[in-house]
Amino acid sequence: MPRIALGLSYDGSAWQGWQTQPHGQTVQDSLHAALAQFTGAPMQVMCAGRTDTGVHAAMQVVHLDTALDRRMESWVRGLNRYLPDSIGIQWAQPVDDSFHARFSATARAYTYLLWNERAPVPLWQGRAGWCFQPLEVDAMRDAATALLGEQDFSSFRSSQCQAAHPVRVMHRLDITRHGSLIVFQLRANAFLHHMVRNIVGQLLQIGQGRQPVSFMGELLALRDRRRAAPTFAPDGLYLTAVEYPEHFGLPSTDGSRFLPWAV
């Protein structure tokens, strides 16, 4: 049966995460409902990575199998007609049956936006995390270097994580300040459950001077989640990009253009 890949973006603050739930208030449930309306038949999709409640996607990738013969532009326009404003299909592309949205991905990227001021700004509610304490960005950058390369990220892994092993390869971890907005950009071959939010939480403690820069490397060696900072808020977390081999011929799977600071 022919296979189609879809690229979509969504505002996670409107949903109880990606994965389908009995109550139906998830991104996947909404997409399934739109597919049923558009095609006249129930359909299932597989995603590149499940996002938690409150987590956004500048670019999520899914695939589905269908015998329905329609132009790719019709899939984009038709699905967007039935989707709520908080979810938008960006593109549709036919792929061969060897393509899998999750298992064919070679890397993923996340961006975390943090508002660093004494008072919260309502305009950022649900769109960025907030920390009122002053933060030393240089200290956070120095600490982040310990996470680069192949590492055992057990200290930053949720107790509910179902991954077979905790080893991941961190390709990039950049931290930049734009006035009162601090932007964390992470790229790895894959991420563990809550890994980005746990890393951000730990970097904030170092940025506040509560722990030395060297503590990040010590945490990796300890491989103990209990010794690390609490999981930080989901509000500012965005799945930004999913990378695939070029031979699949996908349109751009990089959603950083939707976030002016994530370049």
Q: Is residue 256, in this structure, part of any structural domain at all?
A: no
Is 60 exceeded by the pLDDT of residue 142?
yes
Q: How confident is the model at residue 14 (pLDDT cuts 50, 70, 90)?
A: confident
- The domain total for the chain is 2
Q: How confident is the model at residue 159 (pLDDT cuts 50, 70, 90)?
A: confident
Q: Is residue 139, in this structure, part of any structural domain at all?
A: yes
Same domain, yes or no, for 90 and 119? no
Q: How confident is the model at residue 74 (pLDDT cuts 50, 70, 90)?
A: very high
Is 90 exceeded by the pLDDT of residue 6?
yes
CA distance 162 to 192: 8
Establish whether 97 is a catalytic residue: no
Q: Is residue 76, in this structure, part of any structural domain at all?
A: yes
Q: How confident is the model at residue 163 (pLDDT cuts 50, 70, 90)?
A: confident
Is 60 exceeded by the pLDDT of residue 263?
no
Average pLDDT of the residues in 63-92: 96
Is 90 exceeded by the pLDDT of residue 162?
no
Q: Is residue 260, in this structure, part of any structural domain at all?
A: no
Is 60 exceeded by the pLDDT of residue 132?
yes
Same domain, yes or no, for 168 and 191? yes
Same domain, yes or no, for 110 and 98? no
Average pLDDT of the residues in 44-60: 96
Same domain, yes or no, for 85 and 153? no
Same domain, yes or no, for 89 and 156? no
Least confident of 8-12, 65-69, 214-218, 256-260: 256-260
Q: Is residue 50, in this structure, part of any structural domain at all?
A: yes
Please identify, among 102, 131, 153, the residue that sits at the C-terminal boundary of a domain.
102
Q: Is residue 257, in this structure, part of any structural domain at all?
A: no
Average pLDDT of the residues in 76-91: 98
Same domain, yes or no, for 84 and 124? no
Count Cβ atoms within 10 A of the Cβ of residue 103 and give its class: 0-12 exposed, 13-18 middle, 19 or more buried. Answer: exposed
Same domain, yes or no, for 207 and 131? yes
Same domain, yes or no, for 84 and 113? no
b (16+ CB within 10 A) / e for 115-131:
bbeeeeeeebeebbbbb
Is 90 exceeded by the pLDDT of residue 160?
no
Q: Is residue 245, in this structure, part of any structural domain at all?
A: no
Is 90 exceeded by the pLDDT of residue 164?
no
- What average pLDDT does the structure give for the chain? 95
Q: What is the pLDDT of residues 172-231, one digit of tens each?
A: 999 999 999 999 999 999 999 999 999 999 999 999 999 999 999 999 999 999 999 999
Q: Is residue 174, in this structure, part of any structural domain at all?
A: yes
CATH number of the domain residue 141 falls in: 3.30.70.660
Catalytic choice (11, 52, 69, 235): 52
Residue partners of 134: CB distance under 8 A and separation at least 6: 116, 208
CATH number of the domain residue 76 falls in: 3.30.70.580
Please identify, among 83, 102, 121, the residue that sits at the C-terminal boundary of a domain.
102
Q: How far is CA 130 from the centre of its chain?
A: 18
Same domain, yes or no, for 91 and 196? no
pLDDT of residue 161: 76
Same domain, yes or no, for 124 and 224? yes
Same domain, yes or no, for 98 and 116? no
Is 70 exceeded by the pLDDT of residue 262?
no
SS3 229: coil
**Contact of 238 with 59, CB cutoff 8 Å:** no
Q: How far is CA 167 from the centre of its chain?
A: 18
Q: Which residues are annotated as a binding site for substrate?
A: 110
Same domain, yes or no, for 129 and 224? yes
The residue segments making up the domain with residue 57 are 1-102
